[in-house]
Amino acid sequence: MNEKNALLIESAFKEYYFNRFDLIHVPQKATEREFGYQKFNSGMTRHLVIKNDKELHLLLMREVPSDVYCSNAYYSFPNLSMSEKDWKGADLIFDIDAKDLALPCRKDHTIFKCNSCNNHMIEFQSQCSKCGSTKFDIVSVGCMNCISESKKEVTKLVDILTTDLNVKKEQIEVYFSGNEGFHVRVTNADYEQLGSQERADLVDYIMFNGAIPESFGIKRQNNSKTSLPTFEEKGWRGRVARKLFSSKSKAPKVTREIITSGYSAFQVQLEEIKRTMGVRVDPKVTMDIHRIFRLEGSINSKSGLSKIQCINLDSFDPFLEACLLGDDDIDIMADCPIQIRLKNKKFGPFNNEIVSLPKYAAVYMLCKGLGNAT
């Protein structure tokens, strides 16, 4: 990021951190967690111990970081090197990101930015239309359809956590990530001691990975003894039954059709169920028992939006409720070929022109690489 852009964004972030201490708190067991932060155009600083909100707020004002993180893990010595920390356990965390959902709308709000000449294209081409370069940065602008579909994944995840894994709702915290998705954290549950492999197995269950027909009563041979799951069963067997039959009265007919179609056809049905009912989370995030995770209340430097808790997921609008930077106008050179919606206002498209924008919109474009400070 060029120096002028970094200075403008840093100034906006400092103002936010000064005015919104009410949103930024250390999590439970703060003294057992590792904190870290990154500054604009600089590397990561890790292995910090922050004991309370006062120390956290002082760090934010002194360093004005681009991003702030805190471990999901608990350690005896969080300030030491990784090999010396003495891991004690970790919250169960999940990352749901719209970019992983392969939604058709992505093509409508994705921009291809040439690395050589900064030319912006809204349709993918094998080479830049201006300079011929074949190297691009991919920039995605926020979209309510992506948010809505991500919310559905969160809802599916919470359902599986509570009904299948016996997690209490009060142990589940849902946050908007500050960019294009959601973070889900499970605290004070029976899963804190799970290692990476056990968490990987848990993710496979949640995503419905590796399901085989035998688990649902269909064998390669001797299908006359088929025993498909019923509506009343718990877990994925009951979930699959309700999907296949839609109603109890249809179960006998659908069962005959499944038997007639055979093993391979049922395997295809299970793959379709995985696609529509499995939760699409990022497995690497959940498996990482040493990960430092974006701190709630902090700003995401990829967008200038805040990571904030979603109290009412259904009505939550991140482009209003997480858009918390100032409203005072700033002039920038905007080069944004698609329209952006923030705080119920529309901005753009702009074609490499100087425009006066509210600070929250100007910073959003600068963070996305769609403009420059004047």
Q: Which tokens go with 164? A: 């299948």
Specify the DSSP class assigned to residue 107.
G
CA 254/CA 239 separation, integer angstroms: 15
**Which DSSP helix (H) or strand (E) runs through 293?**
strand 292-294
Q: Would you say residue 308 lies in a domain? A: yes
Comparing 156 with 42, which gets the higher pLDDT? 156
Domain count, the chain: 3
DSSP 306-322: E-EE-SSTTT--HHHHS
Q: Are residues 231 and 176 in the same domain?
A: no
Which of 277, 301, 328 corresponds to the end of one domain?
277
Instruction: For residue 133, give every residue at least 6 positions away whose Cβ sits within 8 Å of its Cβ, in sequence order, or none.
Output: 114, 115, 116, 117, 127
Q: Looking at the structure, do residues 218 and 90 belong to the same domain, yes or no?
A: no
Q: How far apart are CA 93 and CA 283, in angstroms?
A: 10
Mean pLDDT of 280-284: 97
* 86 shares a domain with 26: yes
User: Tokens 């040493």, residue?
Assistant: 290
SS3 206: helix
Q: Say if residue 223's pLDDT is above 60.
A: no
Residue 287 domain-assigned (yes or no): no
Domain-embedded: residue 321 = yes
Q: Which residues of 162-177 are buried (b: 16+ CB within 10 A; e: fewer)?
A: eeebebeeebbbbbbb
Interval 25-48 mean pLDDT: 96
63 & 8 share domain: yes
Spatial distance between the Cα atoms of 174 and 155, rounded to a whole number of angstroms: 10
Segments forming the whole domain that contains residue 119: 104-140
pLDDT (tens digit, 9 = 90+) per residue, 260-271?
Answer: 898 999 999 999
Which residues are annotated as catalytic? 95, 97, 282
Same domain (yes/no): 233, 358 = no
Residue 7's domain is classified under what CATH number? 3.90.920.10
Same domain? 35 vs 86: yes
Indicate whether 135 and 152 sit together in one domain. no
Last residue of a domain, one of 277, 306, 325: 277
Residue 20: per-residue pLDDT: 94
Residue 279 scores a pLDDT above 60: yes
Is 300 domain-assigned?
yes
Of 218, 249, 277, the domain-final residue = 277
On whether the CB atoms of residues 17 and 24 are closer than 8 A, the answer is yes
345 pLDDT above the threshold of 60: yes
| pLDDT recorded at residue 119 | 81
pTM of the model: 0.94
Per-residue confidence band for 30, with pLDDT thresholds at 50, 70 and 90: very high
Q: Are residues 233 and 118 in the same domain?
A: no
pLDDT of residue 132: 81
Across the range 312-334, mean pLDDT stands at 97
- Are 250 and 333 within one domain? no
Instruction: List, for residues 87-140, the tens digit of each pLDDT value.
Output: 999 999 999 999 999 999 999 999 988 888 878 878 877 788 788 888 888 899
Within-domain flag for 203: no
With a pLDDT cut of 70, the percent of the chain lying above it is: 99
Q: For position 124, what pLDDT does the model report?
A: 79
Asked, for residue 369, whether it belongs to a domain, the answer is: no
Residue 333's contacts (CB-CB under 8 Å, 6 or more residues apart) are 352, 353, 354, 371, 372, 373, 374
What's the mean pLDDT when you consider all of the chain? 94
132: closest CA among 147, 145, 116? 116
Neighbours of 19 (CB within 10 A): 12
173 and 221 assigned to the same domain: no
User: 3-class SS at 105?
Assistant: helix
Residues 93 and 163 in one domain: yes
Residue 286 in any domain: the answer is no
Angle at which helices 251-261 and 235-245 cross, to 10° = 100
| 310 inside domain | yes
Shared domain for 125 and 251, answered yes or no, is no
Determine the average pLDDT of the residues in 145-173: 97
Q: How confident is the model at residue 225 (pLDDT cuts 50, 70, 90)?
A: low
300-311 average pLDDT score: 97
User: Is the per-residue pLDDT at 46 higher than 80?
Assistant: yes
Q: What is the dihedral of CA 338, 341, 345, 347, to 10 degrees?
A: -20
Give bridge partners of residue 35 from the DSSP assignment: 48, 70
